[in-house]
Amino acid sequence: MSRRRLTRQQKARIAAIRERRLHQAQYETDNLHVSHDGPSREGTVVVRHGRSLVIADEERHLVNCQFRQNLGDIVCGDHVIWHSTGDGDGVVTAVRERTTLLSRPDYGGHEKPLAANLTQLVIVAAPSPAPTGYLLDQYLAAAEHFGLKAILVLNKSDLLEDVDHELLHRFETYARIGYPVLHVSTKQHSGEENLRSSLKDESSILVGQSGVGKSSLVNMLLPDLDVQTGALSKTSGLGKHTTSSAMLYFLPQGGTLIDSPGVRSFRLLITERAELEQGFREFAPFLGHCQFSDCRHEQEPGCALTEAVESGKIAGWRLNHFRLMAQALGKT
Ligand code: GDP
Ligand code: ZN
């Protein structure tokens, strides 16, 4: 037997031993590390840090929990079943079925979950910095895609001196096609009550470009922000600002707000043309009525969407933004 062959066999044996050890270690994490005998209880994931979770129990007390590997990727907002381990901590043993899951593709193209059980996307814009291109339409298409309600917040309304502002016209269109539009100024605290009632009993996230006032809105909506983050760092043993993952906050009027730099700047990557069409809700009555079944809604004769623009049933800029997004499909 040559030396080379021996080495190969040795390598294979070492690899087999390593594999067995890995399995053993996995088995131990899955089955051994926590014993519990408490009754099963309900909880909501407030934040995930590494292999641990902080959950809020039914009375909103925070509990640090371990979870078993075979439960998969648990994220902020997940509803879980957990048991006390008797030392103030807990173990999560099951994850309830999610109603919605916000995700984004990672660098390898796999969908990475960001937040579970959201009900609404709060899209924030301002006169300054004005929304660029089709960003707002992209967020709206994301809301349609993930099955979330969407509301539009026009913040810094104190800067809207010109009643003929282009942004106001765009927002009138959004309102007409059924998206609630709220005028808010965190500076003057105007529109605050309307915003609060729109967030009541919902699970929301704020999205929008940098500088439009998302931090200011979070601070306005959560007067006890410091208390909530303080309680969290005490429970998790982590510093206050060590986590960049999504975090769930309880709103004083009821409902939750999930926030993190990661979810604030999330972008939807729609890859299918049909999916993009569904992202523009006012297009629905016209889809399938073009002369050509594979109509791209560009220059084709008999395009039902182009005709809808001509007869004033669809805003021309919405179809333009759709076209720009369609041209970008697959290029990102
Ligand atoms: P974010 O990047 O979206 O989180 O935006 P910030 O909350 O950091 O706000 C960006 C800037 O806009 C800050 O200088 C705020 O003081 C300012 N700002 C926020 N809300 C308002 C508002 O309602 N009116 C005005 N005039 N400025 C605001
Ligand atoms: Zn068409």
Query: Is 155 close to ligand 1, i.e. is its CB under 6 Å away?
Result: yes
In this structure, what token pair is assigned to residue 128? 């300054």
The band of 31, judged by pLDDT with boundaries at 50, 70 and 90, is: very low
Exposed e or buried b for every residue in 76-90, given b needs 16+ CB within 10 A?
bbbbbebbbbeeebb
What would you report as the CA-atom Rg of the chain, rounded to the nearest whole angstrom?
Answer: 25
pLDDT over 50 (residue 28): no
Residue 298 has pLDDT above 60, yes or no: yes
The two structure tokens encoding residue 310: 């001509």
* Most informative mutation of 123, 216, 222 for ligand 1 (most atoms within 8 A of CB): 216
Which pairing describes strands 149-154 and 181-183: parallel, antiparallel, or unpaired?
parallel
Ligand 2 centroid to residue 178 C-alpha, Å: 23
275 within 8 A of 145, measured Cβ to Cβ: yes
Nearest CA to ligand 1 atom 10: 211
| Number of H-type helices and E-type strands within the chain | 10, 13
How confident is the model at residue 37, as a pLDDT? 64
Please work out whether the CB of residue 304 comes within 6 Å of at least one atom of ligand 1. no
Residue 129, preceding peptide bond in cis (omega within 30° of 0): yes
Distance CA 289, CA 283 (A): 11
Q: What single-letter DSSP state applies at residue 96? A: P
Q: Residues 62-89: pLDDT tens digits? A: 999 999 888 888 999 999 999 999 888 9
211 CB under 6 A from ligand 1?
A: yes
Ligand nearest to the CA of 218: 1
Instruction: Determine which residue's CA is closest to atom 25 belonging to ligand 1.
Output: 156
- DSSP assignment string, 3-50: HHHHHHHHHHHHHHHHHHHHHHHHHHHHHTS----SPPEEEEEEEEET
Q: Where are the alpha helices (DSSP H) in 237-295?
A: 261-264, 273-278
Say how many Å lie between the CA of residue 143 and the centre of ligand 1: 24
Query: What is the spatial distance between Cα 156 and Cα 126, in angstroms, rounded to a whole number?
Result: 6
Burial letters 169-195, b for 16+ CB under 10 A, else e = ebbeebeeeebebbbbbbeeeebbeeb
Query: Cβ distance 232 to 260 under 8 Å?
Result: no
212 alpha carbon – ligand 1 mean position (Å) = 6
* Residues in a beta bridge with 151: 122
Task: Report d(CA 122, CA 205) in Å as an integer.
Answer: 6
209 in Cβ contact with 203 (< 8 Å): no
**Residue 196 pLDDT greater than 90, yes or no:** yes
- Cβ contact 47:244 at 8 Å: no
Averaged pLDDT score across all residues of the chain: 86
pLDDT, position 30: 46
Indicate which atom in ligand 1 lies nearest the CA of residue 216: 7
How far apart are the C-alpha atoms of 316 and 272, rounded to whole Å?
A: 22
Q: How far is the CA of 229 from the centre of ligand 1 (A)?
A: 21
DSSP three-state, residue 282: helix
Ligand 1 contact via 216 beta carbon (within 6 Å):
yes
CB 209 near ligand 1, within 6 Å: no
Q: From the CA of 217, give the closest atom in ligand 1.
A: 7
Q: What is the pLDDT of residue 1?
A: 41
Cα of 300 vs centre of ligand 2, distance in Å, is 7
Within 192-315, residue ranges assigned H as helices are: 192-199, 214-221, 225-236, 261-264, 273-278, 304-310
Distance 101 CA to ligand 2 centre (A): 31
128 has pLDDT over 70? yes
Tell whether the model's pLDDT for residue 54 goes beyond 80.
Answer: yes
Instruction: Extract the tokens encoding 312.
Output: 């004033």
- Identify the pLDDT of residue 22: 47
